[in-house]
Each structure stands twice: as C-alpha cells, then as structure tokens.
Amino acid sequence: MSQRFQIWINGEQRSVQVDGDRTLLSVLRDDLGLTGTKYGCGEGQCGACMVLLDGRATNSCITPISSVGDKKVTTIEGLAKGETLHPVQAAFLEEDALQCGYCTSGMIISAVSLLNEAPHPTSEQIVHGMNRNVCRCCTYQRIRNAIVRASQAPAKSVTS
C-alpha cells in the first residue's frame, strides 16, 4: 500500500509516497536520487548501504521506510559541510583508504558512527565497530589508519 512518509534526511524534511514495505535504501536511491548509499547484498551483511539513523550506523537495505519515523537520517551526501569534508572523509582521502570506492560510503558512515560512540577507539573497538562492513578490495588496514587519523583530527565533528 502506497503511503506518504515524511522523513528527515541530511537536515531536510523530505516527503515520499511509497509502499510501506519499501526499504530505506531503495527510497534513498530510487526516489530521492541519493545514490551515494550503495546496494551490496540486500541482507545487511556488507555494509555498503550504511546510513546514520540518529547518529548510529544502520543497514538501510533491511530498514523498512515505515520504521524510520522521525529518526534523523544522514547519508554520505550529508556529511560534508559545503566544500569542507567531514574529518572522516578527509582522513579516507589522506590515507588513500579505498581502491574501487564502492564500499567507501558505507565505511565512512560506519566510521563516523564508531567515532560518535568512541572518539578514540582502540584497535578492538575498530574491529568490532567496523566488522559489519566489507571491502572486497580489502583496504582494511588503510581504513583502520584513516579512522585513527580522524580520531586525532583537531576539529571534532558532531553529526546526528
């Protein structure tokens, strides 16, 4: 059944008329044109579809749009402030923490979520926080280094 949903995305309220069983991922990509969030597996196993829901990394491919409610959604497109990259985005560039880049949006979102919870994460916390994300090019070491670099960045980011 098609329903109207008002959802907060990247600081704006957006309105969509879609079936309630649609996933947040499909609404972002197919209805809102926010294609930075990727499809990878459709079962919450790879993390390519990660978005922040109230600051916490969430698999949008298994999140029904009807469950989003008034939670604030942040996608990869919502992290930079104008031309200023979020410290995690900047750190990914500085560490060259990508090859094909397809996992990168989800990785960055999960890293932001991790740093929201643990601003200076231990190695164990990084593994635990990031283990839901797959990088098939296996740039894991560089991603870990980027997270460490971002955690040391002077300007502390606040993302909800």
Partner 1 sequence: MKPDTVAASVTESVSDPAMGREAGAVAAASAHWHLGRRDFLKTFATGLVVVAWGNPLWAQRESGSSHSREGHPDVPRQIDSWLHLGADGTITFFTGKAELGQNIRTSLTQIVLEELPAPNHSVRMVMADTDLTPWDGGTFGSRTTPQMGKQLRNVAATAREVLLDLAAEAWQVDRSTLEATNGEIRHAATHRKSSYYDLTKGRLLQRDVMDSPPVKQPSVWTIAGTSMPKVNGRAFVTGRHQYASDFVLPGMLHGKVLRPPAYEATLVSFNAADVEKQNGVSVIHEDDFVGVVAPTVHDAEKALALLHAEWKTRAQISEGALFSHLRETSDYRSEEKEHRTDGSSLRRTYHVAYIAHVPLEPRAAVAQWNEGRLTVWTGTQRPFGVRAELAKAFAIPESQVRVIVPDTGSAYGGKHTGEAALEAARLARAAGKPVKLVWTREEEFTWAYFRPAAVIDVSASITPDGSLDVWDFHNLNSGNAGIRAPYRAARSNAEFHPSESPLRQGSYRALAATANHFARESHIDDLARLAKMDPLSFRLKNLNDPRAVAVLKAAADEFRWQEQKASPEVGYGLAVGTEKGSFVATCAEIALQRSTREFRVVRVVQAFECGAIVNPAHLMNQNEGAILQGLGGALFETVHFENGRILNPRLSSYRVPRFADVPEIKIVLLNRPDLSSVGAGETPIVTIAPAIGNAIFSATGVRIASMPLGQRVPPASG
Instruction: Point out which residues bind partner 1 (CB under 8 A).
Output: 2, 14-19, 22, 26, 29-43, 45-46, 48, 75-77, 79-80, 83, 85, 89-90, 92-94, 96, 98-105, 108, 126-127, 130-131, 133-144
* Main-chain phi, psi angles of 83, to 5 degrees: -90, -5
At 92, list the tokens.
């990914």
Contact 147, 91 (CB under 8 A): yes
CB of 115 to partner 1, least distance (A): 15
Closer to partner 1 by Cβ: residue 63 or 139 = 139
CB of 110 to partner 1, least distance (A): 10
The DSSP output letter for 98 is -
CB of 68 to partner 1, least distance (A): 15
Place of tokens 């999140």: 63
Contact 47, 107 (CB under 8 A): yes
Closer to partner 1 by Cβ: residue 42 or 55 = 42
